[in-house]
Structure 1
Amino acid sequence: MRRYLDWIRDEALPLWADAGFDAGAGRFRERLDGAGRPEAVPHRSMVQARQIYVFAHAAQLGWFDGAALAETATASLIRDFCREEGDQASFAFSIHPDGRIASDVRDAYAHAFALFALAWVYRLNGDPGLLTLADKVIRFVDAQLTDPRHGGLFDALPVATRDKRQNPHMHLLEAYLFLEQAAPGRGYLERAGALVRLFADRMLRDTVLPEYFAQDWSPLADTARSGIWEPGHHFEWVWLLDRYGRLSGETVEPWIGALDASAHAFGLTPDGLIVDEVDADGTVAKASHRIWPHTEAIKAAMARNDPAFAGRMAGVLMAHFLDRPFAGGWIDQIGPDRAPLVDYVPASSLYHLFLAAAEASPLGNRDA
């Protein structure tokens, strides 16, 4: 684990603060190529929000002097992506490197991360305007992205599909939990509780959390997708439910135990890698390996007081993904043969890598 933590602080954070930041535009790069150079591709608001979180939290931990980067990128996120209309605020999905809108879609997943970033920058500087903006974003999510009949979130506005996914709900829960920790008593914990009840009542199927649902939360008619679940998301929910339980005092252990057990039973290869997808019958549906499930396994292990498993996952990350193709970079996905499946380094993964390190570090203060 020490090697992993040192790599985050000494290699990853400096790289992404330098080559990974466009000082002229005041925003983070979307990705770097195999030689560590920025690629001219659309920049997603979700990635900006994730990187803002990383450098705000790193500054609070004393791992990296990232406060100015986080605040500068927050200003550009609001300037370039945000639209305020009345008492609501929303964010475009992506912009071109020159600042023009690339996609004006309002994506539920991206709004969850905008809230997450606002929570962390508020913890950094105490600017009340950030909470005002967060509450405007929440009003947009309630009014424009929430299904008034069956509950839960549509993926995006305009609504292209009325099918549901668990993923944006998971990250909205994460945002509400950290807003509650940043500014308790403003109703964020109650909103988190409503999402946990939705998880328990409509999403969880015995010991498995499917990825996809019909609009009314019934199984999809498409049987090839209806039973798919991701071990990485099981681990992520373990961590989130544990955090919710500690904040609310509610009993969550039965759900945590079920999700953790099925991820361990069906999601790991003999050499410790986590597969991307599993089907309802427990067979592997996608045998490739993304980087982020291993970070979520670290977080889940720390929540369940299993530092040995967290250490093994850190070792897997170092052995198969990290510090390549250049120092401070990573391979985002490998195949069953362990060969890389992508030829660039996406900034989006730093959020996963950093948060796992913070949870595993004694300095991370998981209850803060």
Structure 2
Amino acid sequence: MLNDYISWIKNIALPVWEGRGFDARAGRFRERLDRNGAPLAVPHRSMVQARQIFVFAHAAECGWSQAGQELAERAMQSLIRDFASREDDTTSFVFSIDPTSGSIISSTRDAYAHAFVLFSIAALYRLNRDAQLLALADGIIRFVERKLHDPVYGGLFDALPAPDEKRQNPHMHLLEAYLFLERAAPGRGYLERAAAIVSLFGERFFIGERLLEYFTGDWGAANRAVWEPGHHFEWAWLLDEYAALSGHDSSALCESLYASAKAGGVADDGLIVDEISARDDVVVKGSHRVWPHTEAIKAAATLYTLGDATAPAFADRMAAGLMSTFLDRPFHGGWIDHVSAAREALVDYVPASSLYHIVLAGSVAAKAFASDAALTKAE
């Protein structure tokens, strides 16, 4: 099924989202489509624009999209035009705008969104080598470090204005952005910033062999003490990416994260559950989303490179679950993003944000498994 999954991405999903998923008038990607594949008039978020820029820049680099670079470059121009704000030598991005007028709906500065803007810059810079993109990244990083970094307790505020709680998730994606920036333009301090986040992972996030999601502002335990199997898989892949760039041996952590997610996070029907209690490992949210299954494929690719001969078969099962439950519905090239434990749809729209997970997992699988017979053997 991995071959079918990768083929579906290249031949069906990407062409659909190049067309009906892009607003040619505004030069922006659609936020979401309805069940018939028509655009929905909902606020456009900077995070989704950045994710889609990554998708099509990365797809162009992989040779999966002829239109990818042009779309990514147009969307980057509109992202800067419609969402960016410059103050002194920093650049920040508002959270959302009206899709028709372009007026600001939410001026919140979201850490998660800024991580993805940096991520999109890395992917587009790999294609066009436009030095202005690195200058933009520098301004964003200055904003993140001056305004979103907690000078007292460390780590990132979730947003500005700062909420009471902190989350590990924005840190994870900022790590991802720094790793991709380091690959695109090494030697500019990105790897050192990535190292600081990896240290925070060990100090704050990974407690008792579980990756906690929520914390108080001073990094105490939040009332909502849960872990997500999907993020265990995602961190396993990211820590291995960090190891490849830094030389730091993360194999034991990768194996631990992968093993715990497989052992506790896969339901009897083979799908990955959303949330598990960190206190007793009881499933507290038994629903299923697209993205944990894509992250499981990436983590399996990591474990395969570390010598786990069973990893291709697990990746193939995850691809099979995606194809049988989520993908190519409710229309050709779409997906049901979230289903209940009984596999009933929990959303009546198709969010563009999921395509980032789907495409990146496909490219990781193609690289890790297709170089030998592993992909075919898994089927």
TM over 0.5: yes
Task: For 1:115-154, list aligned pairs within 5 A.
Answer: 115-154=118-157
**Distance in structure 2 (CA, Å) of the matches to 1:176 and 1:290:** 26
Q: 1:50 corresponds to which letter in structure 2? A: R
CA contact (8 A) 1:45 1:110 kept: yes
Given candidates 196, 215, 218, the residue that maps to 2:217 is 215
**Distance in structure 2 (CA, Å) of the matches to 1:292 and 1:142:** 29
With the length of structure 2 as denominator, give the TM-score of the two structures: 0.94
TM superposition shift of 1:163: 1.6
**Distance in structure 2 (CA, Å) of the matches to 1:12 and 1:164:** 35
Task: For 1:104-183, list aligned pairs within 5 A.
Answer: 104-159=107-162, 161-183=163-185
Residues 238-276 of structure 1 show CA distances to partners (whole Å, capped at 9, x for unaligned) of 000010011100011222122111111110012210000
**Distance in structure 2 (CA, Å) of the matches to 1:200 and 1:361:** 30
What is the identity percentage for the equivalent residue pairs of Structure 1 and Structure 2? 62
Q: 1:360 corresponds to which letter in structure 2? A: A
SS of residue matched to 1:46: helix
CA RMSD of aligned residues (A): 1.3
TM superposition shift of 1:362: 3.1
Distance 1:31 1:86, change over 3 A: same
Q: 1:2 corresponds to which letter in structure 2? A: N
CA contact (8 A) 1:150 1:216 kept: yes
SS of residue matched to 1:236: helix
Residues 169-196 of structure 1 show CA distances to partners (whole Å, capped at 9, x for unaligned) of 0000000000000000001000000000
**Distance in structure 2 (CA, Å) of the matches to 1:82 and 1:94:** 11
Residues 60-89 of structure 1 show CA distances to partners (whole Å, capped at 9, x for unaligned) of 111111110000000000000001111100
In the other structure, the counterpart of 1:304 is 303
Given candidates 334, 338, 348, the residue that maps to 2:339 is 334
Residues 184-229 of structure 1 show CA distances to partners (whole Å, capped at 9, x for unaligned) of 0001000000000000011110210110011221212x2xx0x211
In the other structure, the counterpart of 1:41 is 42
In the other structure, the counterpart of 1:313 is 318
Superposed structure 1 runs of 4+ greater than 2 Å apart? 362-366
Residues 307-332 of structure 1 show CA distances to partners (whole Å, capped at 9, x for unaligned) of 22111100100000000000000000
**Distance in structure 2 (CA, Å) of the matches to 1:129 and 1:336:** 47
**Distance in structure 1 (CA, Å) of the matches to 2:103 and 2:369:** 38
In the other structure, the counterpart of 1:81 is 83
TM superposition shift of 1:363: 8.7
Residues 72-115 of structure 1 show CA distances to partners (whole Å, capped at 9, x for unaligned) of 00000000000111110000000101211111100000000000
**Distance in structure 1 (CA, Å) of the matches to 2:351 and 2:96:** 15
Give the gaps of 5 or more residues in structure 2.
Answer: 305-310, 372-379
Distance 1:99 1:170, change over 3 A: same
Q: 1:356 corresponds to which letter in structure 2? A: A
In the other structure, the counterpart of 2:329 is 324
Distance 1:36 1:132, change over 3 A: same
Are residue 67 (structure 1) and residue 65 (structure 2) matched?
no
CA contact (8 A) 1:61 1:364 kept: no
**Distance in structure 1 (CA, Å) of the matches to 2:323 and 2:46:** 29
Given candidates 265, 268, 274, the residue that maps to 2:266 is 268
**Distance in structure 2 (CA, Å) of the matches to 1:345 and 1:189:** 35
Q: 1:232 corresponds to which letter in structure 2? A: G
**Distance in structure 2 (CA, Å) of the matches to 1:339 and 1:203:** 32
CA contact (8 A) 1:108 1:153 kept: yes
SS of residue matched to 1:11: helix
**Distance in structure 2 (CA, Å) of the matches to 1:151 and 1:262:** 28
Q: 2:234 corresponds to which letter in structure 1? A: E
Give the gaps of 5 or more residues in structure 1.
Answer: none
Distance 1:363 1:287, change over 3 A: closer
**Distance in structure 2 (CA, Å) of the matches to 1:363 and 1:78:** 34
CA contact (8 A) 1:359 1:365 kept: no
Distance 1:364 1:94, change over 3 A: farther
**Distance in structure 1 (CA, Å) of the matches to 2:214 and 2:147:** 21
Q: 2:207 corresponds to which letter in structure 1? A: R
CA contact (8 A) 1:29 1:347 kept: yes
Given candidates 243, 246, 255, the residue that maps to 1:245 is 243
Are residue 21 (structure 1) and residue 22 (structure 2) matched?
yes
TM superposition shift of 1:162: 3.0
Residues 314-355 of structure 1 show CA distances to partners (whole Å, capped at 9, x for unaligned) of 010000000000000000000011110000000000000000
CA contact (8 A) 1:61 1:363 kept: no
In the other structure, the counterpart of 1:229 is 227
CA contact (8 A) 2:339 2:346 kept: yes
Are residue 362 (structure 1) and residue 360 (structure 2) matched?
no
Distance 1:99 1:235, change over 3 A: same
